[in-house]
């Protein structure tokens, strides 16, 4: 195991998050089984007060979790120089493959925990709080994920051996390999561009349409297309956005752009993608909740803000990825 | 947005009203951050210092091993290595360590080609006569010597040797030259009784960086009794050692962090009756639990960020202005004469993030439950008391 300050901080942060979640879970179980909104007993009053504690615990835990995701990437970028053959975070991840799992868990946690916080906000704004039970069931599902995150992180970092020779992004994201990453990297640029810009256009126009219409179908379509767009955007980053950022026709790494000599451009790029996807998912997800009159009012009030945030996020992502295509001297197409 | 700003304004005003209580917490908080910060800053500075100084080191050093120990390497090996394609230059180096019983210090003695070159960072010139030498500032300081003075060293035949100091390395290069005594190669061979056919090691320069590994393998294949060491291996070792040391130090300081968290918990739980009444009145006036929780959030953030700022400024002053007197003996670990070099002040975002993660997260987490307890107080009950 490498005793690196960043690793220590990550493990401490994840441990604290898990403790918060366990506490929230314990309270959640009590609430789940003994909640009775029609009751006026003192116990029910105490439970209602405890819901505040749970939501505060969760808000902090989510905040820590998002920061820890960013921090995880930054730490990977820093420790890669300990490994022979590693040139960026890819090398550090390949040094112990569990690292990739940690990354996936962190992405899932980001979406799951953000959705929980949004649903909780909605619920707390209404008088009758109709979502108490589903909310706490969801909480019981998120907590094992947080535990999983801590466990995987620990096994990743403790399994790192600096003497291992790892392969860097040049070999993983090469066009000749047989992995998924190589498939993405080897995808013809025109095809990848068509896919990316089509899905972008669909999501963008659906967002605009949702702004003017209240149709349920549009929201379901938006949900599906946002999920598709999330993956097509990630594929686009590997297959051609990275090429323009590095101005190299053969370098497909999605992590190098997090480094200082590319002006840390990867951070705003990924942040815009994640935020826009999250907000584009919300209208579709919350639509079934409109059955409750109290929630419907709240959802209508907030939906416009979600749509505009999603639009802004998408535009930022587009701007960052298209800028080097238009203004850098690097020419990829045209030959 | 304006609502949150107003709540923040209220929070800051109420924090200022309870100066004494918050100040003591702030001091302890900032001290904890400064301690952890000093460890991080110092190791980072040492790491960059080490990698900067290694930038000029040869890409590959070839040593000879005999019975698992370092042996002198035959100069003839240099020719065989030079014949490998991709090798630019092979220089046999003669150097060794010397313990001076008088001043109780270890020096590094190194041979030069013997040209009276004038190089940067050197006052005077490199030794050109057999009885001249150039010394690092640490050596000069320990003997109280200057240019033109004579240095007495005892050679391997227990003979006193006198060398005239012809050059003095400036303090700017002291990380590399502090304990260095440079002598002409022939003189050094006589001094250590090394014959002409042997050298301490071979420095290999290679045209293409990417071939270093391959060439190291080839050398090992053709000359099985050698041990090639690449520059990146040395760099890795340095980085690992410093990471390990700072990690150990941090792990030790974590105990202090836990103690601090207990203090923070205690402070947050024991709120005064005045503060309780304040919250009771706010709630009676129509503030919701969420608003009181927002106050507590802003309070935690304001205290944390203030302490963080104070803490990193203190750590900066401790490490880069005072030279980290409290940590240097543990983290630096040099030979007997310590090079007294100024650290280059360099702090990157990752260190600040690490520090924030290590301190602010536990603090916020352990003030959460007390904050909630305050927020759900019943206004009627508080005011009746």
* The 3-state secondary structure of chain A, one letter per residue: CCCCHHHHHHHHHHHHHHHHHHHHHHHHHHHHHHCCCCCCCHHHHHHHHHHHHHHHHHHHHHHHHHHHHHHHHHHHHHHHHHCECCCCHHHHHHHCCHHHHHHHHHHHHHHHHHHHHHHHHHHHHCCCCCCHHHHHHHHHHHHHHHHHHHHHHHHHHHCCCCCCECCCHHHHCCCCCCCHHHHHHHCCHHHHHHHHHHHHHHHHHHHHHHHHCCCHHHHHHHHHHHHHHHHHHHHHHHHHHHHHHHCCCCCCCCCHHHCHHHCCCHHHHHHHHHHHHHHHHHHHHHHHHHHCHHHHHHHHHHHHHHHHHHHHHHHHHHHHHHHHHHHCCCCCCCC
pLDDT at B161 over 60: yes
pLDDT at B307: 95
- pTM, whole model, 2 decimals? 0.81
Q: How confident is the model at residue A108 (pLDDT cuts 50, 70, 90)?
A: very high
Q: Could you say which of A5, A6, A162 has the minimum Cβ distance to residue B240?
A: A162
Higher-confidence position of A167 and B301: B301
- Chain B residues near any Cβ of chain A (below 8 Å): 39-40, 43, 232, 235-236, 239-240, 243-244, 246-248, 250-251, 254, 289-290, 293, 349-351, 353-355, 357-358, 361-362, 364-365, 368-369, 371-372, 375-376
Is a pLDDT exceeding 50 seen at residue B323? yes
More confident residue, A211 or B385: A211
> What are the tens digits of pLDDT across the range A110-133?
999 899 989 888 888 887 778 888
**Identity of the residue in B239, B354, B372 whose CB atom sits nearest the CB atom of A56:** B372
> Considering only alpha carbons, which residue of chain A is nearest residue B240?
A82
Cβ distance B362 to A124 less than 8 Å, yes or no, reads no
Judged against a pLDDT cut of 80, whether residue B171 lies above it is answered with no
Pick the residue from chain B with its C-alpha nearest to A46.
B376
User: Which residue in B213, B247, B362, B371 has the most chain A C-beta atoms within 10 A of its own C-beta, making it the best mutation to test that interface?
Assistant: B247
A3 with B243: Cβ contact below 8 A: yes
Does B368 contact A7 at a Cβ distance shorter than 8 Å? no
Lowest mean pLDDT among A47-56, A165-174, B43-52, B286-295: A165-174
Residue A2 has what pLDDT?
A: 65
Asked casually if ipTM beats, i.e. exceeds, 0.85, the reply is: no
A80 vs A227, more confident? A227
């Amino acid at each position: 195991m490498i005793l690196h300050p960043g690793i220590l901080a990550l493990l401490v942060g994840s441990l604290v998050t898990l403790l918060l979640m366990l506490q929230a879970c314990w309270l959640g179980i009590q609430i789940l089984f003994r909640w009775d909104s029609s009751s006026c007993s003192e116990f029910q009053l105490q439970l209602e007060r405890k819901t505040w504690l749970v939501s505060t615990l969760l808000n902090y835990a989510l905040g820590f979790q998002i920061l820890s995701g960013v921090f995880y990437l930054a730490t990977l970028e820093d420790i890669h120089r300990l490994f022979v053959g590693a040139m960026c975070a890819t090398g550090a991840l390949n040094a112990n493959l569990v690292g990739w799992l940690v990354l996936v868990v962190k992405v899932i946690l980001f979406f799951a925990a953000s959705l929980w916080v949004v649903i909780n906000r909605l619920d707390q704004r209404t008088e009758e709080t109709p979502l108490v039970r589903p909310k706490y069931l969801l909480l019981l599902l998120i907590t094992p994920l947080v535990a999983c995150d801590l466990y995987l992180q620990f096994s990743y970092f403790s399994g790192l051996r600096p003497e291992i020779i790892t392969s860097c992004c040049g070999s993983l994201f090469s066009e000749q390999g047989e992995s998924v990453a190589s498939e993405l990297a080897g995808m013809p640029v025109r095809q990848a561009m068509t896919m990316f810009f089509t899905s972008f256009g669909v999501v963008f126009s659906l967002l605009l349409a949702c702004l003017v219409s209240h149709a349920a179908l549009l929201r379901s379509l938006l949900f599906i297309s946002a999920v598709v767009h999330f993956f097509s955007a990630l594929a686009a980053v590997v297959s051609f956005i990275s090429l323009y950022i590095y101005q190299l026709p053969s370098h497909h790494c999605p992590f190098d752009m997090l480094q200082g000599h590319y002006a840390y451009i990867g951070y705003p790029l990924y942040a815009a993608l994640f935020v826009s996807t999250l907000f584009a998912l919300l209208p579709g997800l919350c639509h079934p909740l409109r059955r409750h009159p109290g929630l419907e009012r709240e959802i209508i009030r907030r939906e416009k803000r979600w749509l505009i945030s999603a639009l802004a996020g998408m535009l930022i992502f587009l701007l960052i990825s298209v800028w080097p295509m238009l203004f850098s001297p690097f020419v990829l197409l045209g030959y | 947005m304006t609502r949150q700003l107003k709540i923040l304004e209220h929070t800051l005003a109420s924090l200022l009203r309870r100066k004494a209580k918050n100040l003591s917490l702030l001091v302890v908080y900032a001290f904890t951050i400064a301690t952890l910060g000093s460890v991080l800053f110092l190791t980072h500075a040492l790491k960059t210092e080490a990698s900067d100084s290694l930038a000029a080191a040869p890409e590959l050093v070839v040593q000879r091993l005999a019975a698992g120990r370092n042996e002198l390497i035959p100069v003839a090996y240099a020719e065989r290595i030079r014949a490998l394609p991709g090798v630019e230059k092979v220089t046999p180096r003669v150097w060794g360590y010397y313990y001076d019983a008088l001043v109780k210090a270890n020096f590094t003695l190194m041979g030069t080609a013997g040209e009276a070159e004038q190089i940067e960072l050197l006052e005077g010139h490199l030794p050109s006569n057999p009885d001249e030498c150039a010394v690092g500032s640490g050596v000069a300081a320990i003997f109280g010597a200057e240019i033109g003075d004579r240095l007495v060293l005892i050679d391997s035949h227990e003979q006193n040797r006198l060398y005239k100091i012809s050059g003095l390395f400036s303090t700017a290069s002291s990380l590399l030259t502090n304990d260095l005594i440079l002598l002409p190669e022939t003189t050094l061979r006589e001094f250590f009784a090394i014959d002409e056919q042997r050298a301490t090691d071979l420095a290999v320069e290679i045209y293409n960086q990417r071939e270093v590994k391959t060439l190291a393998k080839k050398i090992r294949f053709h000359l099985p009794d050698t041990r090639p060491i690449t520059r990146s291996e040395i760099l890795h070792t340095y980085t690992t050692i410093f990471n390990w040391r700072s990690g150990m130090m941090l792990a030790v300081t974590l105990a202090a962090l836990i103690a601090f968290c207990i203090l923070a918990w205690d402070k947050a739980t024991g709120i005064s009756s005045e503060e309780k009444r304040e919250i009771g009145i706010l709630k009676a006036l129509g503030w919701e639990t969420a608003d009181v929780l927002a106050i507590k959030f802003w309070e935690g953030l304001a205290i944390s960020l203030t302490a963080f700022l104070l803490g990193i400024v203190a750590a900066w002053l401790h490490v880069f202005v005072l030279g980290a007197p409290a940590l240097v003996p543990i983290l630096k670990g040099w030979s007997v004469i310590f090079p007294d070099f100024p650290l280059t002040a360099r702090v990157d975002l990752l260190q600040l993030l690490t520090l924030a993660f290590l301190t602010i997260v536990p603090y916020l987490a352990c003030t959460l439950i007390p904050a909630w307890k305050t927020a759900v107080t019943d206004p009627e009950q508080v005011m009746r008391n």
